[in-house]
């Protein structure tokens, strides 16, 4: 009887370790992409752990414009999170995407409901909403950027 219980416990431990390993993902975040889809669906309150490495340039060819995942020591109003360093690694959870069609012109406009949050080089963040997790750069003018961050994303456990 005692041996049987121990075997059950070992099986639970092994399956727990396998599940934990499955929930770690490495995502490459290019400096010149507005947002990168992690492919991960999250729920509100779920803790996610991020560890980022690498270097991007906020202006290709300008050696003064390089920064790591903590960003460049500069803040402007023209960035997704104005109170955080320019170029820092940030995240968003996309809650809903609505396509609105203009009856007159026939043009489609995409409206997105999303929650933004700061990540930087390393942090643990409780997801602000249920939805799809994206990673990005805290800058709006991304077309002239270069380089990439490599981000390890892990689902935090209770």
Among the candidate windows 45-53, 56-64, 94-102, 116-124, which touches Ca ion by CB under 5 A? Answer: 56-64
> Degrees (nearest 5) of the Cα angle 152, 142, 97?
70
Q: Does 66 bind Ca ion (CB under 5 A)?
A: no
Q: Which is nearer to Ca ion, 121 or 142 (CB)?
A: 142
Distance CA 109, CA 89 (A): 27
Binding track, positions 108-147, relative to Ca ion; x by CB under 5 A: ---------------------------------x--xx--
CB count within 10 Å of CB 3 equals 7
> Degrees (nearest 5) of the Cα angle 146, 119, 44?
130
Q: Does 58 bind Ca ion (CB under 5 A)?
A: yes
Enumerate binding residues for Ca ion (CB under 5 A): 58, 141, 144-145
């Amino acid at each position: 009887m005692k041996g049987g219980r121990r075997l059950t416990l070992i099986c639970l431990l092994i399956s727990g370790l396998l599940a934990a390993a499955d929930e770690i993902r490495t995502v490459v975040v290019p400096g010149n992409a507005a947002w990168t889809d992690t492919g991960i669906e999250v729920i509100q309150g779920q803790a996610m752990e991020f560890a980022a490495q690498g270097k991007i340039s906020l202006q290709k060819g300008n050696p003064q414009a390089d920064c790591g995942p903590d960003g460049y020591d500069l803040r402007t109003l023209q960035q997704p999170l104005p109170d955080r360093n320019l170029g820092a690694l940030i995240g968003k959870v996309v809650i809903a995407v609505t396509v609105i069609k203009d009856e007159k012109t026939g043009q489609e406009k995409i409206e997105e409901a999303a929650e933004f949050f700061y990540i930087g080089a390393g942090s643990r963040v409780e997801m602000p909403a249920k939805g799809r997790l994206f990673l990005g750069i805290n800058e709006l003018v991304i077309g002239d950027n270069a380089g990439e961050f490599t981000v390890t994303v892990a689902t935090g456990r209770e």
